[in-house]
Amino acid sequence: MANERTETVPKALVTAFWLNFVWINFSEVARYFLIVRPLLHEAFPGQEDIGAMSVSIFAIWGLWDLILICAATGFYWLWLNRFGNQTRQVIAAGSAFTVSVFGLIWLGIANMGLAPFNLAVAALPLAWIEQLIACAIVAWAIKRH
């Protein structure tokens, strides 16, 4: 047989994915209900559709979280394997991902007037902490396996 490749997904990556699945879903929902939703209601009083709860909205949240978890876990996996699995690399990778994803999203949302800038100022540090922990989970999984 000529050059058959039988690679499998590393156990550390699978472990990191599932731990981040739990962590990021928890963090995203908590941040939304404790910070984002109240600030949106305060910024847009009388707008009943702001922060509405429905099956379609929860389905979109589920898709958003799945994309976020895959992107974050994969990005951290590649970063830490390329640049090393040290604390400074966890901070660098978590910061780069947060600015690239959440910074861009919140800047665009606030710039379009869809949320006040104080909401972005409140949400971004929490997103950064979320992503530092997500990256630390990947680093832990790499070291463990």
Distance CA 41, CA 126 (A): 19
Query: Is the CA virtual torsion 26, 144, 81, 18 positive or negative?
Result: negative
State yes or no: pLDDT of 143 exceeds 90. yes
Query: Average pLDDT, stretch 98-113?
Result: 94
Confidence of residue 30 (pLDDT cuts 50, 70, 90): very high
Q: What's the chain's average pLDDT?
A: 92
State yes or no: pLDDT of 8 exceeds 80. yes
Predicted pLDDT at 9: 87
Is 134:23 a contact under the CB 8 Å cutoff?
Answer: yes
Distance CA 87, CA 53 (A): 39
Amino acid at 63: L
User: Packing angle between helix 55-83 and helix 11-31, nearest 10 degrees?
Assistant: 130
Check residue 132 and give left, alpha or beta (phi > 0: left; psi -120 to 50: alpha).
alpha
Quick one: 93 exposed, middle or buried, by C-beta within 10 A (0-12, 13-18, 19+)? Answer: buried
Distance CA 90, CA 85 (A): 7
State yes or no: pLDDT of 51 exceeds 80. no
Predicted pLDDT at 100: 97
Confidence of residue 107 (pLDDT cuts 50, 70, 90): very high
Per-residue pLDDT reduced to its tens digit, 57-78: 889 999 999 999 999 999 999 9
- Least confident segment among 2-11, 38-47, 48-57, 114-123: 2-11
Number of C-alpha atoms within 13 angstroms, CB side, residue 116? 14
